[in-house]
Structure 1
């Protein structure tokens, strides 16, 4: 006997809900076990001599003064690893970041090999790649660690990452991006987004390991592997794209090289931000991803608590005659309970206390309610803003700059 179409549809709804339920639990499990300080092993690579260890070139592209910039940059100098260099790159000679970099280089000149490159090489629309090109091409070592200026890392991060990169079949090592020290209500929403739903999904997808899923705040890979993936072009091949991190990860993945995550986080201090700024950032990344990872972007609303809960409620009402309001109430309560442990401990890495439960609840509800309207707004448009410049995304995943007419 054939099932009617509605039975199939509601069966898919229930199946998707169960899948998301298990995926959320899996992400939560990874988050609670991998990043427990008592579980993290000491890196083997850090115990080698400078002769035995693989050298690493740390590339830090800079523009302007990010919040707690000196602390972020200092975390590169203090890495517990026997052989590395740091290359800072800045596009403009009058950038206010230059005195800070020079002061740190002077402070560590006897212990850390570091240099500053001023001036960019224009190879495409992506300002980050233009800024890094000379640093990338003149790096001493095959392993490069591209580390954004607005994040800091623990001193054993490099050693643990090299350990992971040396495992057979590995082409890229990346770290969990998290937000710390929110300075106001809008920043608390951003904090909750990165540290709960985004963290769970990021960990779960990478844990399953069926596709490339990379955020570019902190990535290590070998230049020789990227050369193979781009027929010798290297980093320059990604200059016309704004989401170079995703595309680099995919290029290495297509070589058959897997991605791994070490037990480390890339931590960004938020401070105060505007609600408009939060919304603009969320819209920017949806608009970038919709041309690069289209399928994943299209199903994104169904991974959020409201749409996913409504799907489960509709399916369970059809099969089990469960009240939709009651199902959704228990679903949302469970989703909140699953997210809260990410906020449940003080973080020894950045010494930031967890949010009080009422602030967590306020920010969590705001984040969940805003998710679908922001997604729909982002899908409908193509304009993004990045470092005070506007761009228009186009269908091949690249972008073009939008220049405002001069003031009369």
Structure 2
């Protein structure tokens, strides 16, 4: 079946091309620009909820950034949250730095993280503001990476999360999703001029966002990074990425946790960028392997030839992906190949699941992805 063989070949070529483009993009080092040499003052807004496995480490890292003048603004929705005491303890240790802890919840959107961030955005003292998730493990040069990536036509600078410190097989699967799959495609898209935002770390020039609706405008979509992408593109600007992604330590993960996160993000992508989400069913190794098998059967290949063909397709898919992780110094272990295979088996199931409903759950908040029903309700206390 020539058509099946041609489509399978095209899928493999696209896969390889994305790896090459991502590798070349990631190999580009950020040179200090005028902005990074100027070293402007920066506000770092960090929304928190609950104590996570690496909370002490991630909070501590925020206090040790190699930047001359920055303020930290921690935002918590509930006074009863145990993370409040954690932040206060660090504030006592670092009394010379400007640190603000804001507690309260302003529900102006269906996005609980954005609602939590808003109060920090409004009191930020500086023109450059970073919105950073609580599980981002900031390197000393965290601010420098983001500032150095800013270009004249930038609307926002982001960093994909790089999954690190996995414990157990399902955490390795999470790394397989985050690193050589999601980060790879995000860097390839940016290199092709179609960059999109990632909510883990976002550097904004505050006057620009305020002139375009302010932080409230990021509530126009259920996901703030989707709203950021659309806002930036509408303003004639671009989303740019740092050349070295920022770590997200994972620790232990279960199948349920991996599925929950990936399914939630898939449904959000489906709701916010359906035209780009539909082709996602074609990524991963399952579609080209199925087409290769179909072609082998129709060409009446013998068993040995079928096995060789399938091994060739699988090798073309996985060897370059493993090489990308190895060459970029990302987590690589004996579990990575099985994790990549498991991820690819899960991908079609997640894609199908994303079309079967209109709600997602995030930390006890049930949110609908229907544009006409911008709702949020608490399902847990």
TM-score in terms of structure 1 length: 0.83
1:373 alignment partner, SS class = helix
Q: Is the 8 A contact 1:62 1:88 kept in 2?
A: yes
Structure 2 residue aligned with 1:221: 204
Q: Does 1:368 align with 2:344?
A: yes
Structure 1 portions without partners, runs of 5+: 1-5, 348-352
Structure 1 residue aligned with 2:321: 339
Q: Deviation per CA, 1:67-111: give whole Å up to 9, x if none.
A: 21122122222221222211111111111111221122222222x
Q: Is the 8 A contact 1:195 1:342 kept in 2?
A: no
Q: Pick closer, same or farther for the CA change 1:302–1:174 going to 2, 3 Å.
A: same
Q: Deviation per CA, 1:259-292: give whole Å up to 9, x if none.
A: 2212232211111122111111111111111121
Structure 1 residue aligned with 2:59: 73
Structure with the bigger RCO (C-alpha within 8 Å, sep 6+) is: 2
| Structure 1 segments of 4+ aligned residues over 6 angstroms from their partners | 6-10, 312-319, 321-324
1:19 alignment partner, SS class = helix
Decide which of 87, 107, 117 is 1:101's aligned counterpart.
87
> How far did residue 341 of structure 1 move?
2.5
Q: Pick closer, same or farther for the CA change 1:295–1:312 going to 2, 3 Å.
A: farther
> How far did residue 329 of structure 1 move?
2.2
Alignment of 1:180-329 (within 5 A): 180-209=164-193, 211-229=194-212, 233-239=213-219, 241-311=221-291, 326-329=308-311
CA distance in 1, matches of 2:332, 2:10: 34
1:59 alignment partner, SS class = strand
Q: Pick closer, same or farther for the CA change 1:42–1:78 going to 2, 3 Å.
A: farther
Q: Is the 8 A contact 2:364 2:379 kept in 1?
A: no
Alignment of 1:343-358 (within 5 A): 343-344=325-326, 354-357=331-334
1:89 alignment partner, SS class = strand
Q: Which moves more between the two structures, 127-136 or 306-315? A: 306-315
1:304 alignment partner, SS class = coil
Structure 1 residue aligned with 2:70: 84
Decide which of 136, 141, 151 is 2:136's aligned counterpart.
151
Q: Deviation per CA, 1:129-175: give whole Å up to 9, x if none.
A: 1111111111111211000001112111212321322x211111111
CA distance in 2, matches of 1:15, 1:337: 17
Structure 1 residue aligned with 2:109: 124
Structure 2 residue aligned with 1:3: none
1:105 alignment partner, SS class = helix
TM-score in terms of structure 2 length: 0.88
Structure 2 portions without partners, runs of 5+: none
Structure 2 residue aligned with 1:350: none
Q: Is the 8 A contact 2:164 2:331 kept in 1?
A: no
> How far did residue 15 of structure 1 move?
4.2
> How far did residue 226 of structure 1 move?
1.6
Q: Is the 8 A contact 2:16 2:320 kept in 1?
A: no
Q: Pick closer, same or farther for the CA change 1:302–1:163 going to 2, 3 Å.
A: same
Q: Pick closer, same or farther for the CA change 1:316–1:215 going to 2, 3 Å.
A: farther
Structure 1 residue aligned with 2:359: 383
CA distance in 2, matches of 1:96, 1:27: 40
Structure 1 residue aligned with 2:20: 25
Q: Which moves more between the two structures, 20-29 or 197-206? A: 20-29
> How far did residue 24 of structure 1 move?
2.6
1:299 alignment partner, SS class = helix
Q: Is the 8 A contact 1:10 1:318 kept in 2?
A: no
2:271 alignment partner, SS class = coil
Q: Which moves more between the two structures, 90-99 or 335-344? A: 335-344
> How far did residue 243 of structure 1 move?
0.7
Q: Pick closer, same or farther for the CA change 1:214–1:12 going to 2, 3 Å.
A: same
Q: Pick closer, same or farther for the CA change 1:314–1:66 going to 2, 3 Å.
A: same
